């Protein structure tokens, strides 16, 4: 890790985002003759880590929305770009890329194998519900600053969105995705990783994850929630 990057907090966070994306890309670009057991485990870890990184973006976007609502409820100043910025990240990076990737590249393997069909049906339905809720949040964001009734509706929408996706990602991370490698086998798993890499490149371009993290951090700084230490309870 370069020392000059570590010299600033922003530089480190951007570097870590780039590193996360780089791990995924390097894992997908391994040659097929790397058939050793270690190489297989490496590819398995890389795809899993990529999914976890994307879920991390979702959770940070939810934290931004929750912090924005708290500011509105406390009649504090809310930067006008905070809520719309979080919604844009969710719609562009998570709904249009991450969720479509799950729906088109990953879920069908489980459905074809007859595994976790009920769970996947719920996950698909929640993706649709989440898209409707982000539209509601987006529509309420500007008017909620001045209108108490709109603010109440925004509170409800953000709370429901946050709860649903915390439950949603916890099931994916602990039930569904740990089983993917066993369901599809090493060759198909590598194909999924490669297809996901191509999808990200075509839809979002180079360094997509690093750019999303940079944008997320800027919004967090507007709300003064960028410092992890501020979330530690003071007993």
Domain spans of the chain, in order of start: 8-226
Architecture of domain 8-226: Up-down Bundle (1.20)
pLDDT tens-digit profile of 143-163? 998 899 999 999 999 999 999
For the entire predicted model, the pTM comes to 0.81
Q: Tell the residue number behind the tokens 């944008």, with chain if given.
A: 215
What is each CA distance from 100 to 62, 92, 124, 131, in whole angstroms?
19, 11, 10, 12
CA atoms of 22 and 20, how far apart (whole Å): 5
Q: pLDDT digit of tens for each residue in the chain (235 aa)? A: 444 433 444 544 444 444 454 444 444 344 444 444 444 445 555 788 889 999 999 999 999 999 999 999 999 989 999 999 999 999 999 999 999 999 999 999 999 999 999 999 999 999 999 999 999 999 999 899 889 999 999 999 999 999 999 999 999 999 999 999 999 999 999 999 989 989 999 999 999 999 999 999 999 999 999 999 989 998 8
CA atoms of 145 and 140, how far apart (whole Å): 9
Q: Which two tokens stand for residue 65?
A: 């929305």
DSSP reduced 3-state for 131: helix
Report CA dihedral (75, 81, 87, 92) to the nearest 10 degrees. -170
Inter-residue contact 216 to 60 (CB < 8 Å): yes
């Amino acid at each position: 890790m370069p020392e000059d990057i570590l010299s600033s907090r922003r530089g480190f966070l951007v570097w870590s985002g780039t590193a996360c994306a780089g791990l995924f890309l390097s894992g997908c670009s391994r040659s097929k003759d790397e058939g050793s057991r270690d190489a297989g485990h490496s590819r398995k870890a890389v795809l899993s880590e990529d999914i976890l990184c994307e879920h991390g973006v979702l959770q940070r976007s939810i934290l931004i929305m929750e912090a924005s609502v708290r500011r509105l409820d406390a009649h504090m100043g809310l930067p006008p770009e905070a809520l719309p910025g979080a919604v844009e990240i969710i719609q562009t990076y998570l709904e249009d890329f991450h969720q479509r990737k799950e729906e088109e590249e990953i879920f069908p393997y489980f459905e074809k194998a007859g595994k976790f069909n009920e769970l996947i049906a719920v996950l698909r339905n929640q993706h649709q519900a989440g898209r409707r809720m982000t539209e509601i949040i987006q529509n309420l964001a500007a008017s909620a600053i001045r209108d108490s009734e709109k603010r109440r509706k925004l509170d409800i929408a953000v709370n429901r969105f946050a709860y649903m996706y915390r439950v949603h990602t916890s099931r994916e991370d602990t039930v569904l995705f740990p089983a993917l490698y066993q369901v599809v086998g090493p060759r198909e798993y590598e194909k999924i990783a490669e297809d996901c890499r191509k999808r990200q490149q075509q839809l979002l371009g180079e360094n997509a994850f690093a750019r999303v993290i940079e944008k997320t951090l800027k919004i967090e700084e507007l709300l003064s929630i960028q410092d992890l230490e501020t979330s530690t309870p003071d007993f």
